[in-house]
Amino acid sequence: MVTKNRQQFLFLSMHNEKKIIQDLLENKTDAFVKVRNLVFPSLKYWIRKNNGTEADAWDVFQESLIVLIAKAQDPDFQLFGSLKGFLGTIQKRIWLKKLEKKQKIKVTPLEKKELVYENGVDAALIEHENFLLYKKHFNQLSPKCRHILTLFFQKNSFSVIAKTIGFANKDVAKNEKYKCQKKLTQKIKQDPLFKKNQ
């Protein structure tokens, strides 16, 4: 007898996985549901066995999708093996890192070796963690600094930034942007998680 999970796996295998990834990139709900139905039950079981809860499993699942989508946006991205296997590797790595941080446990070299994946999962996770770190400290800046940096990251000229914020001229805008960016960089560099990722 073929189980429901096995049927989903066979369907996903038969279906073009590139198409599913493309649908995820386009934020199509049905692709998300297909991947969730396939991956989440086994992930929930594994995380519960490894000192976690269903809520932890859901967080890990969502983080793994963010990593997958970030990786898939790279034109050189190639999926070796199954999508389920790729996500499973990412999810286990995310959870082991969370356990390490929460409980101060050390992941053994053997566990790390088992989770090595050709597609640069570690690099993708570090990139994702650095983004979360940036977001955390960006949100702690003053509203004015956040506004200046948002305008700058949106590629507005300093003249436009000066006019929008109400600065006297573009040189003042440039100086204020420099001070805000310096403050953000210092906050990130002082965070213990930043040092750990280096």
pTM confidence score: 0.51
Asked, for residue 11, whether it belongs to a domain, the answer is yes
Alpha helices per DSSP H over 73-142: 83-103, 109-114, 121-138
- At 34 the pLDDT is 83
Asked, for residue 58, whether it belongs to a domain, the answer is yes
> Per-block average pLDDT, block size 10, for the chain (198 residues)?
47 60 83 86 88 91 87 73 79 83 54 43 59 80 91 88 93 92 86 64
- At 115 the pLDDT is 42
Q: With left for phi above 0 and alpha for psi between -120 and 50, is residue 120 left, alpha or beta?
A: left
Structural domain total, the chain: 2
74 and 163, same domain (yes or no): no
Q: φ and ψ at 95, to 5 degrees?
A: -65, -40
Please identify, among 119, 150, 169, the residue that sits at the C-terminal boundary of a domain: 119
105 and 152, same domain (yes or no): no
Please identify, among 84, 119, 154, the residue that sits at the C-terminal boundary of a domain: 119
